[in-house]
Structure 1
Amino acid sequence: MIMNKQLQMNKKGKWKVRYTVLFVLWLCWLFSFLDRMVITIALPFIGEDLNLTATAQGLLLSIFFAGYALFQIPGGMLSDKYGFRRVMSIAIVWWSIFTSLTGLIFSYPLMLIVRFVFGLGEACLPGAAYKGIANYFPSKQRGTATGIQSTVNTLGPALAAIAAAAIIAAFGWRTVFIVMGIPGIIIGLYIWFNFKDNPKDHPKMTREELAELEEDSEIEKSDEEKKSGVSFKELLRKPILWQMALIWFFFDITFWGFTSWLPSYLINVRGLSLMNTGIFSALPFLVGTVSIIFGGYLSDKVKGKRKWVFIPNAVIGGLALLLMLQASSTAMVITYQCVAAFFMFLAQGAFWGLVVDTLPAQIMAAGSSTVNCFGSIAGFIAPFLMGYMIERSGGSYNSSFILMVAAIIIAAIIALTINNNIKKENSLNSETIVEA
């Protein structure tokens, strides 16, 4: 008995291989956001250097999402077939090279191609990262691991804004892309030489850690023996999948519109300096880092009514964007953008709690990739459409802000159509009822 207690204490207190895996995965996500988001700070300078219209600048932001959406589901399939280690290491080296190449391009058409191919590389990350977590973490800790990883969604844009502004101010916009590509290459090589797809092959895995995974595997195996699998084809016939996909599409119209054009708005409309723009563009995402974790936690507390966490917070976030547009002072603009970010990211945390809790576990990767793919399509549409609207209105951001407000409210309205009781089919022969 005493020996068992001591063993449990050692297991709790000892650093585990899976923590290292999670930290490296977190770094991968961080640099994926840094590499994709620095262009939002550099955009006014790229536009001036290459003599681009607002529409052309918007397309430059959107073209990344064309590649990202196109290859996201195939990227996940590659991870299933060849293992997350190979796919992730190749992907991060791939997109890091094209990040650096962005700073060496002097032709607009060639830059569009580079950003598109850059998006193809990043598309492999989500599926590979979630597979890595599933391989190394027991099921009881996968939600927490995924939540920690998701903090990059807010920290990435925040750090990108500050780092990009500092580097651009000192060395110019081209240097920021060249520099940002270097860390990813190092991380990719580290993953290739140090990670293993199967935890059993990792030289630093302890017996205790392997025992946790094996015990978890036996439980999952027993569950699978009680039920047959649900096919992805069957899931495509479920209304709930398309409800969630549409919610995420409209939510991401607002998110990517806000993220992509906020720096330009602060510089061109509010007259902020480059460094102030970097700092104030980062603030909403720093606020969001707290609220996205809180949103997931709160939705767990009201499990069965997750949509009622998403709906009001999405609406409040949209209204704060409207107040931001109408604000008369810079201080109020900064205040309202932080309020908008707090409620938007809180809603986002609750939404993904709904997705994970609703989709069948057997095809979670395919189902969640489908939902996320709709967000990537929104990421392609929003920056380009807003750039076009800004150009057509003579530089006014009014119509683009109204678009963001309308989109997030539409997302909330669609969420209202989700039934409180959703049939979550875990098999073809049996089904359980969960509340949304």
Structure 2
Amino acid sequence: MAYVIVFFHRVAAGVVRQELINSFNITDVEFGNFGAMYFYPYMLMQIPSGILADTLGARKTVSVGIILAGIGSLIFGFAPNITFAYIGRLTVGLGVSVVFISTLKILSQWFKPDEFGRMSGLTSFIGNGGALLAQYPLVVLVAAIGWRKSFSVIGGISVIIAIVTYILVRNKPEDLGLDPIVIIKEKKKSSIKDGLKIVFTNPRTWPAFFAMGGIFGSVIAFMGTWGVPYMIDVYGLTKGEASIFTMMVTLGLMIGSLIVGNISDRLGKRRLPFAAFSIVYLVVWIVFLFVNPGNMSLGFMYVLFFLMGLTSSGFVLSWACGKEVNPEKYAGVSTSIANMGGFLFAAIIQPIIGFVLEQSDGAGGVYSVEAYNKAFMVCLVVIIISLVSLFLIKETNCKNIYSE
């Protein structure tokens, strides 16, 4: 449930774009920056998140983080100007930044190594339920009580979830008097400094960072910030209608997360399914940018957006790819580096899209399909970077292959 809150905030910006522009009198570049404000602290906190998960433990880390996210959501809801809105979004990003890596740490303790792909996919599936809530349901909620009260309510719910997390979650089976599932042979006490050095200097760590970066960054930029404005401007839809199309991306990502994790564990391969899904994802973007002139049927767009989400889900394997080439006891740090790539790319992409749009022929903040396609070329570039990096990933055969 904490991860549902994470995904809700990740993609909520696109739904309230016009409300923010009207309330704070901001430009599209400033709106792009607002969307990115979530990702800057999230990206910077990935290494500290791994350290906290490995030392303080996931239970305490997530509980404190989600309370902080709730406070940030309340700040945003009551923001008198764009500066306070930025502060609120930054606080949210800081708070939720610790949740996913902590969840992966728990998965590494409560499940066997050959179950990690499936459980990562299931985690992504559940988390994306938050992305669904942040689309059409959020449109309905904002229409009913306004965007300020909507985010204030989410802030209150976040605090409740943080309390429940602290009551229910345990870091490892031993905390409940159960036998450990994962036994780490080396009993020497872990050193944070040594762990960072080992993981950072391991050349096998970094291909997963870039492979995650372009795939995740591009789908989140579209699904979370620019997909709704695209459908409103190009197809003349209402915000509610447009949000249903970005929901198709989310549904595809949810289903794909379950499929790719299961395929990977059953095949005993990481790189092969990751590459296969990502190549098709590139093809979907090529069709979207070069075949779609902005007047294709809405039925076709439903299918295209669903496939965009489905095939982007290969990125869930990047966490396993990073974890399985590093020492098991540093699972938090190694998965956090792979995860950091996605949020670095997402933070960079969104303001660039806003900047390119503002340089185009937009009248009154409404842009043509040509303007959007030009802006979305940045997504195509980062996807190609990811594909190149993918082929540098070391195949682990779903086992930890780290050796001194």
Q: Same fold (TM over 0.5)?
A: yes
1:239 match: secondary structure: coil
Q: Percent identity?
A: 22
Q: CA RMSD in A?
A: 2.8
CA contact (8 A) 1:95 1:122 kept: yes
Tell me whether 281-290 or 349-358 shows the greater mean CA deviation: 349-358
Alpha-carbon distance in structure 1 between the residues aligned to 2:208 and 2:175: 38
TM-score by length of 1: 0.80
CA contact (8 A) 1:34 1:180 kept: no
Corresponding position of 1:416: 391
Offset at residue 172 of structure 1 (A):
2.3
Alpha-carbon distance in structure 2 between the residues aligned to 1:84 and 1:357: 20
Q: Answer yes or no: is 1:104 the counterpart of 2:75.
A: no
* Residue among 282, 294, 301 paired with 1:318: 282
Q: Answer yes or no: is 1:148 the counterpart of 2:122.
A: yes
Corresponding position of 2:33: 59
Q: Answer yes or no: is 1:241 the counterpart of 2:205.
A: yes
Q: What is the number of residues matched between the two proteins?
A: 387
Following superposition, which runs of at least 4 residues in structure 1 exceed 6 angstroms of deviation? Answer: 421-424
Alpha-carbon distance in structure 1 between the residues aligned to 2:202 and 2:113: 25
* Residue among 144, 148, 157 paired with 1:174: 148
Alpha-carbon distance in structure 2 between the residues aligned to 1:417 and 1:73: 22
Corresponding position of 2:301: 333
Q: Answer yes or no: is 1:41 the counterpart of 2:8.
A: no
- The structure whose RCO (Cα within 8 Å, separation 6+) is larger is 2
Alpha-carbon distance in structure 2 between the residues aligned to 1:234 and 1:193: 34
TM-score by length of 2: 0.86
Alpha-carbon distance in structure 1 between the residues aligned to 2:113 and 2:83: 46
Alpha-carbon distance in structure 2 between the residues aligned to 1:154 and 1:102: 22
Corresponding position of 2:339: 372
Letter in 1 for 2:148: R
CA contact (8 A) 1:243 1:414 kept: yes
Taking the TM superposition and a 5 Å limit, the aligned residue runs for 1:204-283 are: 210=178, 213-214=179-180, 216=181, 220-221=183-184, 223-224=185-186, 231-259=195-223, 260-283=225-248
1:35 match: secondary structure: helix
**Structure 2 alignment gaps of length 5 or more:** 362-366
| CA shift in 2, pair 1:142/1:407, >3 Å | closer
Corresponding position of 1:7: none
Q: Answer yes or no: is 1:71 the counterpart of 2:45.
A: yes
Tell me whether 187-196 or 369-378 shows the greater mean CA deviation: 187-196
**Structure 1 alignment gaps of length 5 or more:** 1-26, 429-436
Letter in 2 for 1:312: A
Tell which structure's C-alpha radius of gyration is larger: 1
